[in-house]
Structure 1
Amino acid sequence: MIPLRALLYRRGTPVMTLLIITVNVLCFLFEMAQPFYLRESFIARYALIPDQPHALTFISSMFLHGSLLHILGNMWFLWVFGSHIEDAMGPAKFLLFYLISGIASAFVQFIVYFGSPIPTIGASGAIAGVMGAFLVLYPRVRVVTLIFVVIFVTTVDIPAAFMLIYWFAIQLLSGLGSLASISNAQGIAWFAHVGGFLAGILLIRLFREKRARYQYR
């Protein structure tokens, strides 16, 4: 399932969401501009590596991505859900919320895979926090979603609660399954997604405006 847009009114231009996307894209371009023989050391310096923890990497790792598909997927999810969460709390609070969610997700990944030498990169943990916030604020909002059924592709309007809980269940079950082969199961940081999502659920009450907008369309 790929979300295309939420059927929810947005008050204005989501400036901070666009800024975060821009920064991520610029970081990715800089990363890809590194000579191939230096790229691995560049990622190792700024990625979160559980057996070599540095405070800076809990933040820097969320601005690195491993491939074009990786960053495109993350930035698309951020746009679909983040633009509405920014609308609910304002740009400054949204930036703080995003960063805290990302740090929380990295911390969970660090704890679960403590001692692992495998680098963790990507914005998906922070974006998972945004998705958790969306679940709390707008569970009944319908999300236009692209669905693949065998060889057919169609779109359906799915309640956000169903889509996001389904997504979270996949992350949790996949993460638990990956623990059976922890040495080589970190192609996807499942527990970063789980940690970020739960952080978003817990934090949103502190960050949203008291009169958050609930105008559906």
Structure 2
Amino acid sequence: MFPIRDHNPSESTPYVTYALIAINVIVYLYGLVALTDDATLNRFYYDYAMIPARITAGENYPSLVTSIFMHAGFMHLAGNMLFLWIFGDNMEEEMGPIPFLAFYLLSGVGADLAQYASGPTSQVATVGASGAIAGVMGGYLLMFPKAKVDILLILIVFFKIFPVPSWIMLGLWFLLQLLGGVGADPNGGGVAYWAHAGGFIIGFVLTLPMWLKRGAAGYWDATDGHPPHPDAQYRFQKSSIPVVKRR
């Protein structure tokens, strides 16, 4: 189960969101072209990924930023960019381009620090934009709890797209990160659950001043938790592929 789009169209061009997606894609493509052997790849990760043991040793603090533009594979990149594309444009529109960029970077750094706190001596590299994007999701939940998000549900051979309020989708996602983090081994690699959970909380907290300025619960009363503009309307077109009946 994962989101494919929301019904919350932005009314301005989200240049920063597009630029962040482009930078992540360029860094990934650079890795495919330039990091062609294990030694070069390992050195790249050592220099730019967030490795908790190095932070504990007082080394490589810039990796708290550089690591959020690195990805471990195509699906890692694609999933993160899908989430950024869905939720980033609305937060950029609400905050403005420069404040949104600062918000994104702070969420990413905070997410890395949350992952670091779960295992300060770990030598496992942390990479990916998901912590920063989790911050965007936390802010989105606060601003638009009832915005519709289309979910693709896959159950073996069953496929279904249906809309749910963002608080259900984002709340469930956050709960899964917390549950995953409780049982995770910081020295074992895999999903950086605490980066996700930490980034989400940081993004939520960083969005609080804007939400309070808009009227706090009064903002929800005025918008009913929906976007402050009409929802996007989607409909599925009938397929042009003819149906062949069984004989």
Q: TM-score range by the shorter chain?
A: over 0.9
Residues 1:183 and 2:187 aligned together? yes
Which among 224, 229, 233 is matched to residue 215 of structure 1? 229
Contact 1:32 1:39 in 2 (8 A): no
What is the alpha-carbon distance in structure 1 between the residues aligned to residue 123 and residue 113 of structure 2? 15
Residues 145-183 of structure 1, C-alpha deviations (whole Å, 9 max, x = no match): 1111232111010100000000000000011011xx443
Aligned to 2:151: 145
CA distance in 2 between partners of 1:91 and 1:208 (Å): 17
Q: Which residue of 2 aligns with 1:44?
A: 46
Cα distance, 1:210 vs. partner? 5.2
Instruction: Give the conservation status (yes or no) of the 8 Å contact 2:114–2:194.
Output: yes
Larger relative contact order (C-alpha < 8 A, sep ≥ 6)?
A: 1
Q: Does residue 6 in structure 1 map to residue 6 in structure 2?
A: yes
Query: Using the alignment, how far apart are the partners of 1:182 and 1:42 within structure 2?
Result: 21
Aligned to 2:36: 35
How far does the alpha carbon of each residue in 1:81-110 deviate from its partner, in whole angstroms, 9 at most, with x for none?
011111111111110000000000001111
Q: Tell whether the 8 Å contact from 2:6 to 2:149 is kept in structure 1 after alignment.
A: yes
CA distance in 2, matches of 1:52, 1:210: 40
SS at match of 2:80: helix
Q: Name the larger-Rg structure.
A: 2
Structure 2: distance between partners of 1:28 and 1:208: 35
Q: Tell me the secondary structure at the aligned position of residue 140 of structure 1.
A: coil
Alignment CA distance shift 1:20-1:182 (3 Å): closer
Q: Give the 5 Å matches for 1:4-153.
A: 4-33=4-33, 34-37=35-38, 38-53=40-55, 54-153=60-159
Q: Give structure 1 stretches of 5+ with no counterpart.
A: none
CA distance in 2, matches of 1:46, 1:190: 20
Give the Cα separation in 2 of the matches to 1:114 and 1:92: 32
Change beyond 3 A, Cα 1:17–1:64:
same
Alignment RMSD, CA only?
1.6
Q: Give distance in 2, aligned partners of 1:182 and 1:56.
A: 21
Q: Using structure 2 for the length normalisation, give the TM-score.
A: 0.83
* TM-score w.r.t. length of structure 1: 0.94
**Amino acid of the structure 2 residue aligned with 1:36:** D
Counterpart of 1:74, as a letter, is N
Could you report, residue by residue, the CA deviation over 1:93-143 in whole angstroms, capped at 9, with x for unpaired residues? 110000000000001111111100110000000000000001000001110
Q: What's 2:205 paired with? A: 202
